[in-house]
Structure 1
């Protein structure tokens, strides 16, 4: 993505974010004034979802979205329909297939489905749409491109800031690394926040921990694996950072963290691994001894709430939801097996930093705030 296009994306989405926050959208999506849908509304309600290429077993944001869909559907007493995408060319046909099955809410997972979601929403104005991790603003004018789409967004830079600070505190080599699947704002927002957290640690502690793979001043030079699959490229990318001496890795891009786990195991070195979106200690315990923490998104709860809101039969609230530290829409997981290995005062420092980020006294910039 060029610098020009990145600025357009950042500017457009920031406008949406600001408008949403001014409209009081900092809390989780409301399920409307009705506590439950009427029997007739529920009988006609059919919630559906389309995954991106990561699939619903990615142990990350597709899986969390799917769990949220199922939770919401169960709460209103209906059965959801899910369609998994195996290729980018599946996105539009998969959405169309759900429309043909009379889905009343279609949730699409990920920015890669943005264009297909907008096209379908414009062609089907009576169907409710929601998209996870994208503002559906393909013309970059700061507005969602269809009036029946609800963006579900997360300011994960704030949580990644905490993870970056903790990683810098833990690193014995003085080198940490972060890299992504592809160069999209919803990927680089993790990397950006992580690097800001390391930078803040260095300033507070008079240290010089390096961040490999991402430069705040030159984000277009960041490292990416080229996709969101756990494959040899993702493993080699992790291995390269291990070879450069990094002892903490934050891969951002669905299951690519699994390849990093394999690379660390093969290296025999003492390298800590961070997860993104979900607490990978729980969702993919294969490398549980390697997991330092995870940068979390409240995708499951937000999606469930959107499903329940759509089911009421009332006017669907399409105001963008933005999860951040203040509404527990983002956060970091426990240190699990690393609890005894981190500095005894670290958690207290993180609690103070979190409060300062929420109050605004520690600014954390991202495409949702610039």
Structure 2
């Protein structure tokens, strides 16, 4: 476990450095896949493409493409450890066999040399940008890398939690304090503060000092961090500890560890959970009831399908892009029957979504000058 955390923290540091500067575009494309029946590999770790969450949402984008292009083929490849070096090796092992490789997660940032050495293969990265061995961001003609504004999804969740809590105590639970998770945390805390100021709520975001997070710059960011993305037992411990302090709405951004938080909520009374990345309403079933209030969304499947279609149509262009509410790439579940928000809360969320989309509200991120207590639009 210590080795895994060390390796991933090093990669997180590399991603932070990557965010601070870009490299020159390399690996000019040498082929044209227009009209070709694509051979696609989707590489995930360690929970596979049927995890009901992050990986599966990406896989659904591939499946949508194949539904519309039935001659295309996809092969799921699961790397079991989740370690960045193993993830990169898993890509290297198969790169010669596929036209397109879709890679799920931050651990694939190190595929830069593979992309440069294989310009005939196209890569779609989700939740990371390619970086060199020194952590400097790189762009390639054959790599489209998408990240998402988690601070926005966290913000919507914080507003929803503040509006719906009955105890006036809410919390966010995360896995490891990588930038993506800290973005969710800061966005959530900012959303609570926004609701308190503009909507008259009196919610408090509860943190457990013993589970405070330390980000990739060794800064204590507070919050509630399990320390792992696959530790359901500790997830349940953290969830129960927060519930025991009176928290009745929990925003959970903790991967597989979040299952333990869900269990704690199901075993308690009158506790609701906000899901993360995808619509988790089905995961919230608890007998005849459901604990899911809503879910923060990264619209990954649509964007993956879009890039695969671009490849097939000969329109693919390498880029590193941060996707936001401006392109409806972040959001929250508002569909009837998939959430339990009040009409008043839905109306207020719709109002602030437009403000975020227009850039009038900019929730803080891990490395921004803004904070949950002071940010544009508060």
Give the TM-score normalised by structure 2. Answer: 0.80
Are residue 130 (structure 1) and residue 127 (structure 2) matched? no
Counterpart-to-counterpart distance in 1, 2:93 and 2:201: 55
Name the structure 2 match of 1:24: none
- Rounded to whole Å, the distance in 1 between the matches of 2:180 and 2:331 is 16
Q: Does structure 2 retain, via aligned residues, the 8 Å contact 1:14–1:368?
A: no
Q: Aligned ranges for residues 252-331 of structure 1 at < 5 Å? A: 252-266=253-267, 268-282=268-282, 284-287=283-286, 289-313=290-314, 316-331=316-331
Give a deviation string over 1:118-153, Cα, whole Å, max 9, x none.
232233232111210011235444x32655321111
| Counterpart for residue 61 of structure 1 | 54
Q: Is the 8 A contact 1:50 1:108 kept in 2?
A: yes
| 2:36 aligned partner | 42
* Matching residue of 2:93: 97
Q: Cα gap change, 1:166/1:341 in structure 2, threshold over 3 Å: closer, same or farther?
A: closer
Say if 1:73 and 1:308, in contact at 8 Å, map to a contact too. no
Task: Give 1:250 deviation, angstroms.
Answer: 1.1
**What's 2:28 paired with?**
none
Structure 1 residues 6 and 230: CA distance shift in structure 2, 3 A = closer
Aligned match of 1:29: none
Paired residue for 1:33?
none
What is the SS of the residue equivalent to 2:221?
Answer: helix
Give the distance between the partners of 2:166 and 2:338, measured in 1 at CA: 14
Find the counterpart in structure 1 of residue 105 from structure 2: 110
1:180 is aligned, of 174, 183, 186, to: 174
User: In the alignment, is the contact (CA less than 8 A) between 1:250 and 1:273 conserved in 2?
Assistant: yes
1:47 touches 1:73 (CA, 8 Å); kept in 2? no
CA contact (8 A) 1:158 1:193 kept: yes
1:243, 1:334 → 2: CA distance?
A: 29
How many angstroms apart in 1 are the aligned matches of 2:278 and 2:338?
Answer: 17
CA distance in 2, matches of 1:369, 1:68: 31
**Gap change, CA 1:369 and 1:303, over 3 Å in 2:** farther
Match of 1:149 in 2: 143
1:210 lines up with 2:204 in the alignment: yes
For structure 2, the 5+ residue unaligned runs are 23-32, 370-378
Deviates more, 1:6-15 or 1:202-211: 6-15
Q: What count of residue pairs does the alignment treat as equivalent?
A: 341
Assess if the C-alpha contact under 8 Å between 1:58 and 1:254 holds in 2: no
Q: CA deviation at 1:285?
A: 4.9
| Higher fraction of helix | 1
Change over 3 Å in CA distance of 1:275–1:150 after alignment to 2? same
Q: Return closer, same or farther for 1:7/1:360 CA change in 2, 3 Å cut-off.
A: farther
* 8 Å CA contact retained: 1:257, 1:275: no
CA contact (8 A) 2:162 2:201 kept: no
Please identify which structure carries the higher strand content. Answer: 2
Mapped to 2, the partners of 1:62 and 1:5 lie a distance apart of 19
Question: Which segments of structure 1 move beyond 6 Å, counting only runs of 4 or more?
Answer: 1-8, 337-341
Task: Write the distance in 2 (CA, Å) between the matches of 1:8 and 1:114.
Answer: 9
Aligned partners of 1:286 and 1:339: how far apart in 2? 12
SS at match of 2:319: coil
Alpha carbons of structure 1 residues 134 and 244: separation in structure 2 relative to 1, 3 Å: same
Given the superposition, is the C-alpha separation of residues 119 and 237 from structure 1 closer, same or farther in structure 2, using an over 3 Å criterion?
farther
- How far the C-alpha of 1:156 sits from its partner, in A, is 2.5
Deviations 1:181-228 (A, max 9, x none): 11211222211211110011112245442212379x975333322222
- Residue 336 (structure 1) shift: 5.6
- Report the CA distance shift for 1:221/1:4 in structure 2 as closer, same or farther (over 3 A): farther
CA drift of 1:161 comes to 1.0
Q: Does the aligned pair in 1 maintain the 2:294–2:339 contact within 8 Å?
A: no
